[in-house]
Structure 1
Amino acid sequence: MVYPQPKVLTPCRKDVLVVPLGWLPLSGRAHSTSTSSTSSSGSRTPPLG
């Protein structure tokens, strides 16, 4: 599904919170020794817009 970025800030906040929470374990497993800092910042940059 596409994130409702241009809609309202309320749904954006919910999506942003759900995305990192669900991606934290996935990213951690996929990118175990990868750049942790970059992973967090990178995954948060796209959803935020």
Structure 2
Amino acid sequence: MTKKNCKKCGLKIKKDRVYCDTCYLEKKLKGKENDPYHNMGGMF
């Protein structure tokens, strides 16, 4: 299985991923804060 590096921090990850778990979770959390629909309490 070929490994590649996380786009953000350069950690070695599976080739079908873009970010490592840490960066992915960080990105997901940041994305929610910036998403106006999420803060409206709707089911988005």
TM-score range, shorter chain: 0.3 to 0.5
TM-score (normalised: structure 2) = 0.41
Which structure is higher in helix share? 1
TM-score (normalised: structure 1) = 0.38
> Which has the higher Rg, Structure 1 or Structure 2?
2
Which structure is higher in strand share? 2
